[in-house]
Structure 1
């Protein structure tokens, strides 16, 4: 880091002041600087560090791997319900705070505990399970090729807006049952929401309006899509519950997958040894995806848990109602469970998808989309190279997400007379889609390449 981030002692409303808190927002958030910041916090405070997520918004960042596992599993001491949050209950968080669209209570699985959470998760999980993995792969493949065809003749592209951002948006909105124009409006609203700035509240309202219109349409005319599945699930979710669970699914799925694609491509473009190993068959695309999830998880920090009682945790005195942030990237780098130099290829005990009852239910479709995206473009554009110095890459500044703002590349125009689809034994990549629907096509779903329990060191 060129200079340390500013620090200040958070006000405690008459309570004894705590340790200086480090802001996780502002201009010092600089892409590759974040790992250094996490290690500085670990050295200074241990596995749990005081931070601020926005002006006046104090929290604890959980940096330790073991501590984060306890945080995600112990619903007795750590609730998901932000209505327990002391700062909110005492009226010290303004309604227009940029953090509120991300942490404000919603009737969705992300903000509930126990039986209420299990009821909503059953509906979401069942809807995702009914996605036909084979047909989803075909749809993603065709979408990748359409996007690449759109810029290939120019011999240059910015892979964030032209590829990594468009692909998951087009696939996820198709799964939800949205048309392309409305889908683009939704993606723009989501981008404003996660930016955690002055427009976040307006972006949240725009997003809700789009999704409510979709829900009303699917109530009248159900279709083979995730929205209709949620509306007709035996859990009997209300329209409001469907709205907010779709919000959680789209925010988490779209932005995370965009970052996962872009970061994996960045590694392939900037690490010649890794790219050579992949081209030579010594490593697989899934190995590259796992490396990203360990070292550069698409979601850096995730909201939030709230202490249900006063307790000591990670060497800190936590008070009832305190907010605790899941430091996913920092926990993955915890030297107690992953000493420096430890290989991570093929190891999926990372915490990029969280852990416990709230482990991401959509990680397998997300992996399928990302794997297909990376595999397709590296086969279509084998001589692709970064068009700027790696140090000049721009990053999105957000307390939650580590994502590239741009990934400019250049390449020669490839021979397109024969384009076998990556991972298949025949068929052109631009082939017609199967008549089978992507959603509801039977028992075959997107299975993980390595099936062992996630969230546990091994």
Structure 2
């Protein structure tokens, strides 16, 4: 895409009265009640890039166009990930207790850097995540899901957000990162505060990082078979500070995205007439529902951000040096110019050209394990509760008022029967997989022999975990049974702690 020179644009620079008057708030009820309507109105009024307010008096640009978002994410020379370039804080216009700070403050992570340093840190995160065996992750997710479902009461009601989608990822991530089980519920609460930009955002962010500082200290002294230890041992040689901040990235991005993707997929399956047949083994599959959600209601609808390195023009709008540009992921997916999008003629089944994971060098490195966790969570629930149905009309479901996440407040359901959990693969239940040799830090001693673990195996050779994840009719019968006593005992104990049993 050719970017015209600023002189060719008649639009006023941001910060002037004309700009402020046309800016739409990207917070509160407007973005929660009808975000698709908001994006359509902004597109009709301003085109592919629209002026917005993130807080009263804090302006930014929302990139709504699909090609414009690709330009934004691929042109590091014009649009940097370094939030220290943002002119609003430089001009003293961002309050010390602003709800935007947790999501926009600079940290030494792959999210906030460009060029070679970003590549170094991205390699550490991506290669650490690649050490997790996908088949084992699937079985572990299913075991956690079974434990949660088994703990529900006999009244045939549940809230699939509070009792399932919001708890399940932390059951998996708590174990995967080597965190104590009892920290899980508190982490969920803290993440919700700063992702929702609530009044408790700043304090929640500080407490969240304190938990991870302690974890890094412990794993530096006593490494284990977990993501934290592997990240610390990576050849990139991350400092403790870098490791803590990247654990924040993994937990927030992995947990919050997985929660929202799970909840939004279950909502689609329970409310969309085309997908209702899935509950009876219809033609459309859970995998199709996952893809449609990423097009229509991606778990992250907007993401901060990029900062202009110089005056330029994008989408016909004059962008000043230091302006913040927000990635309108949901809006770009709905760009009428995108043939494969929800408004196009090709449909979304099997179409993964969406921008739900971002684009360019900063595309999400955890999308494959996230897909595996969500697909397993949804399939397990629908198998265990085959007559699942909404307990309220679909239009009564409420969304959280977050400018970033597309997340339901609750998803109340009714069911009348349980199907027993399936028998897990004994090869993985006995922990037959092995950890690959850890990458050595520069100047570090040679690694010891590979350590036995049920989490990892040899490096992955498949391009996507979805290839090994069942996506046929979810009502296919499964062999009744449970996991090995030790594994079920661990999961039931942790799930019971979640439920207050």
By the TM > 0.5 criterion, same fold?
yes
Q: Distance in 2 between matches of 1:444 and 1:152?
A: 39
CA contact (8 A) 1:142 1:430 kept: no
Q: After superposition, where does 1:25-424 map in structure 2 within 5 Å?
A: 25-31=27-33, 33-151=34-152, 153-277=154-278, 279-338=280-339, 340-342=343-345, 343-416=347-420, 419-420=421-422
Runs of 5+ in structure 2 lacking a partner? 1-11, 434-452, 469-501
Change beyond 3 A, Cα 1:397–1:72: same
The question of whether the paired residues in 1 share the 8 Å contact of 2:49 and 2:62 is answered with yes
Find the counterpart in structure 2 of residue 454 from structure 1: none
SS at match of 1:439: coil
Task: Tell me what 2:455 maps to.
Answer: 439
Give the distance between the partners of 2:248 and 2:160, measured in 1 at CA: 25
Unaligned runs of 5+ in 1: 1-9, 421-426, 452-458
Q: Which moved more, 1:257-266 or 1:406-415?
A: 406-415
Shift of 1:281: 4.3
Cα gap change, 1:357 to 1:334, in 2 (>3 Å): same
Contact preservation (8 Å) 1:142, 1:433: no
Task: Indicate the residue corresponding to 2:446 in structure 1.
Answer: none
**What SS is found at the alignment partner of 2:386?**
coil
The number of aligned residues is 433
Matching of residue 23 in structure 1 with residue 19 in structure 2: no
SS in 2 for 1:334: coil
* Residues 293 and 352, structure 1, Cα contact 8 Å, conserved in 2: yes
For the residues of structure 1 that align with 2:190 and 2:56, how far apart are their CA atoms? 23
Cα distance, 1:297 vs structure 2 = 0.5
**Alpha-carbon distance in 2 for matches of 1:118, 1:233:** 14
Match of 2:436 in 1: none
- Structure 1 residues 15 and 38 mapped into 2: Cα distance closer, same or farther (>3 Å)? closer
Give 3-state SS (helix, strand or coil) of 1:154's partner.
coil
Structure 2: distance between partners of 1:299 and 1:249: 15
Deviation at 1:445, TM superposition (A): 6.7
Q: Is the 8 A contact 2:383 2:419 kept in 1?
A: no
Q: 1:415 to 1:317 in 2, by over 3 A?
A: closer
What CA distance in whole angstroms lies between the structure 1 residues aligned with 2:454 and 2:91?
47
Q: Quickly say closer, same or farther: Cα 1:352–1:14, change in 2 above 3 A.
A: closer
Which region of structure 1 is more displaced relative to structure 2, 352-361 or 335-344? 335-344
* 8 Å CA contact 2:303, 2:328 repeated in 1: yes
Quickly say closer, same or farther: Cα 1:445–1:299, change in 2 above 3 A: farther
Mark the CA change 1:319 to 1:284 in structure 2 (over 3 Å): closer, same or farther: same
Q: CA deviation at 1:262?
A: 0.5
d(CA) in 1 for partners of 2:75 and 2:358?
A: 13
Aligned to 1:423: none
1:15 Cα offset (Å) = 8.0
Specify the SS of the correspondent of 2:429. coil
Q: Say whether the 8 Å CA contact 1:136–1:438 is kept in structure 2.
A: no
Distance 1:14 1:331, change over 3 A: closer
Q: How many Å separate the matches in 2 of 1:63 and 1:285? A: 28
Deviation at 1:183, TM superposition (A): 2.1
Q: Give the deviation of 1:28 after TM superposition.
A: 2.8
| SS class of match (2:152) | helix
Q: Which moved more, 1:315-324 or 1:168-177?
A: 168-177
State how far apart, in whole Å, the 2-side matches of 1:94 and 1:414 are: 51
- What's the CA shift for 1:172? 1.4
Retained in 1: the 8 A contact 2:386–2:417? Answer: no
Query: Distance between the aligned counterparts of 1:284 and 1:434, measured in 2?
Result: 31
Q: Residues 78, 19 of structure 1: CA spacing in aligned structure 2 closer, same or farther, 3 A cutoff?
A: farther
- Shift in Å at residue 17 of structure 1? 4.5
TM-score by length of 1: 0.90
Cα 1:224/1:428, change in 2 over 3 Å? closer
CA distance in 2, matches of 1:88, 1:439: 43
Which residue pairs with 2:488 in the alignment?
A: none
Q: What SS is found at the alignment partner of 1:153?
A: coil
In terms of Rg, which structure is larger? 2
Instruction: Rate the CA distance shift 1:11–1:93 in 2: closer, same or farther, 3 A.
Output: farther
After superposition, the Cα gap between the structure-2 partners of 1:89 and 1:349, relative to the gap in structure 1 and judged at 3 Å, is same
